A and B are shown apart, each in its own frame.
Chain A
Amino acid sequence: MRSTGKKISLLALLLLTAFAPAKRKDITVYLIGDSTMADKAVKAYPETGWGMPFHYFFDSSVTVDNRAKNGRSTRTFMEEGRWKAVMNVLHPGDYVLIQFGHNDEVPAKKSYTPPEQFKANLRKFVSDARSRKAFPVLITPVARRRFDSAGRVVETHPLYAGLVREVAKKNKVPLIDLDQQSQALLQQFGPEKSKFLFNYLAPGENPHYPEGRADNTHFSELGARKMAEIVLQGIRDLHLGLADRIRVVDQKEKK
C-alpha cells in the first residue's frame, strides 16, 4: 500500500514538472544613454526616444527600465550618480543596454568626454555590470540625419562609434552597431523622406512646437520605432537569451 502511494505521488510529481512550463525568471533591461534613447516629457511630444517604443516588444517576464537622460554623456551620467543608482538595483540575469556618444563627442559641450575617458567609462559600465552577473550590451550612437549634396548619408559619429566598437571587441561585449544600421536606414529613406523619421514639424502643425521644428538628431514616433526595431534585430542576431523573450503576436491568416 505504502509503496503504491509513493509511486503515485512520484508519478504525479513527474507529470506536474512535465507540464508546468519552465517559469522564466523575471528580468529587467536597463537602458542607459542620452536623449536619442530617453523617455520624453509629454510637452516634448512628438519627439520620441527609441527607448519608448522599445518597451512594447517583450513578454511579461521583461521590465524595460529606461534610465537614459537628455544631454548626458558617459561622464555626466556617472557624475550625477545615475550609474550608481542602476548598480544598486542590478540583479544577475539583468541586461544593461549602453548607448552614448552624442554628448561625449562635442568638445564645446559641458558634457564633453575625451576619447580615452569615453572608453574607460564604457569599460566601467561593462565590468560593473558583469560584476553583478548582468549582461552588458554596447550600442554605437544612432546616426544624425546628414546627407551630402549627392544624397549620400554622411557619417556623424566617425570617432566615437569606432571607440564603442573597439571597447566591445577588446572586452568581448555583444555589440549592436546602431550607428551603421541607422545610416543604412537613412540611406534607404533618402534625404527628403528621412525627415519623417525625425522631429520635423511645419509651423502651426503641432501645438507643442508652434514655430515648427527641423531636428536632425531627435526622432518622431516613426523614427524611434524603426531604431528600436534595429536594436531588437540586433538582439536576435547576437542570439542573446533576451531574444527568447521578444513577444511575437500570433497572427491569424486574414481572409
Chain B
Amino acid sequence: MRIGTGEQERSLAMAALRGDSGAFRELYDAYRERIWTLVVYSIGDSLQAEDVLQTVFFKAFRGLRSFRFQSSLFTWLYRIARNECLNYQRRRNAAHVPLEAILGSNDEIDTTPISDGHEARRVILQNAVKQLPFKMRDVVVLKYLEGLSYEEMSRVLGCAPGTVASRLNRALAELEERLRPFRRLL
C-alpha cells in the first residue's frame, strides 16, 4: 500500500505522534516492505534484518516529532534505514565473502536443468547484489526494486543525479562481472 500524497503522509504522522496506534500501523504497513528490502539486501541475514528494521522504525517513531516534511517520508525513512545498516555493518565488521565461496566454484555448478531453477537464480542474483559495495548496492535496490528515477534517487541519497548515474554504471558493470560465471543459469 502506498500513501498517496504528502498531505496524507503528514496527517498520518501527526496522528501517530498523538498516540494513534492505528495511524502508526498504517505508516508501518505502507513502508515496511520497501524498507525491509533495503535492510535485507544490506544485512543479508533476515533474522538480523528484523532487528534492524525494528530499530529503524523505533528511531523513526522517536524522530517523528522533529521531522519537518521537507522531504518525503520514504526518503527520510530510507536515510534512517541506510544509516542503521551502515552502523550495523561497522559493528559487526562484516567481511567480504566472495560469491564463489558461498556457491562453490564454477566447476561445481551443475549446468543441466535443475528442479528448482527459480530458487537457484534467486539465490545467485540476490547474493551478487548483497556482495556489492554499499553505495553501489543502494542504487541497484532503489532503481530496480523501488523503481525510482535518477532525480528521486539523488534526493534519497543526497547526491547529484550525475553521481547516481555513474554509480549505477559501476554497479551494473560489477554485477555483470560477478555473475559472468553463472550466465548460463540466469
The reply to whether chain A is a binding partner of chain B is no
Residues of A within 8 A of B (CB): none
